[in-house]
């Protein structure tokens, strides 16, 4: 097998990329450190320089995924003119991330594989991504556009909506339903996220 060349210090990234390719092509069940090494074109012992076992590798991919997701959301929030628009844009960013990184997205929400209880950094990365949403909701509360007593509930509701749309799209259901409705999946996602923000009552204390 032709070995993939990588610069010194890039072995970890090379192995992570190889693992994602393996997941995309053959599924999570195909992942082992030996198979990842073969996919990367390195020796069978090379992965152990960076990952103690399969779960450690999958945890690293989960952490990287949540960090990328947070970046998508932070960028969307920064480009939005107000908190309610930001919530819509965050939803679009969440779904877009899932579309651009489907294998990684699925892995991020499979704790039995990455074993976050043994790798707490995975939980921390997930919390950091979620906190981008929490901070955006807090902006809405501060602006009087969202009720303070429902802030936590709204954050979870938004997450459930965005994650559900992302999962439906990855499974092929959203595109099918969009066609039946005479629209396209990206437009449907945007419409639903905007509809969500219009249904939220403002903070009554500011009325």
pTM of the entire structure? 0.88
Annotate 83-105 with DSSP letters as a single string.
HHHHHHHHHHHHHHHHHHSHHHH
The domain that holds 59 is classified in CATH as: 1.10.357.10
Based on C-alpha coordinates, what's the Rg of the chain?
A: 20
Same domain, 109 and 174: yes
Q: How far is CA 106 from the centre of its chain?
A: 8
Looking at the structure, do residues 68 and 170 belong to the same domain, yes or no? yes
Do 119 and 174 share a domain, yes or no? Answer: yes
Angle at 114 between CA 110 and CA 115, to 5 degrees: 100
My answer on whether 5 and 95 are in the same domain is no
The number of domains in the chain is: 2
* Domain that includes residue 26, residue range: 1-51
Residue pLDDT, tens place only, 96-147 = 999 999 999 999 988 776 666 777 898 899 999 999 999 999 999 999 999 9
Q: Are residues 120 and 137 in the same domain?
A: yes
């Amino acid at each position: 097998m032709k070995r993939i060349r990588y610069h010194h210090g890039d072995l970890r990234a090379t192995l992570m990329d190889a693992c994602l390719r393996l997941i995309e092509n053959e599924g999570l069940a195909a992942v082992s450190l030996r198979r990842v090494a073969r996919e990367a074109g390195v020796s069978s012992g090379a992965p152990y320089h960076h990952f103690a076992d399969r779960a450690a590798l999958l945890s690293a991919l989960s952490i990287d995924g949540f960090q990328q997701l947070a970046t998508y959301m932070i960028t969307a929030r920064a480009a939005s003119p107000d908190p309610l628009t930001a919530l819509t844009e965050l939803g679009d960013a969440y779904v877009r991330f899932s579309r651009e990184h489907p294998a990684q997205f699925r892995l991020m929400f499979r704790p039995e594989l990455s074993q976050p209880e043994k790798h707490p950094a995975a939980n921390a990365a997930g919390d950091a991504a979620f906190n981008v949403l929490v901070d955006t909701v807090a902006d809405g509360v501060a602006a009087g556009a969202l009720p303070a007593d429902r802030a936590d509930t709204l954050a979870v509701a938004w997450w459930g909506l965005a994650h559900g749309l992302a999962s439906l799209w990855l499974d092929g259901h959203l595109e099918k339903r969009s066609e039946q409705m005479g629209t396209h999946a990206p437009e449907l996602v945007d419409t639903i996220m905007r509809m969500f923000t219009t249904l939220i009552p403002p903070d009554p204390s500011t009325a």
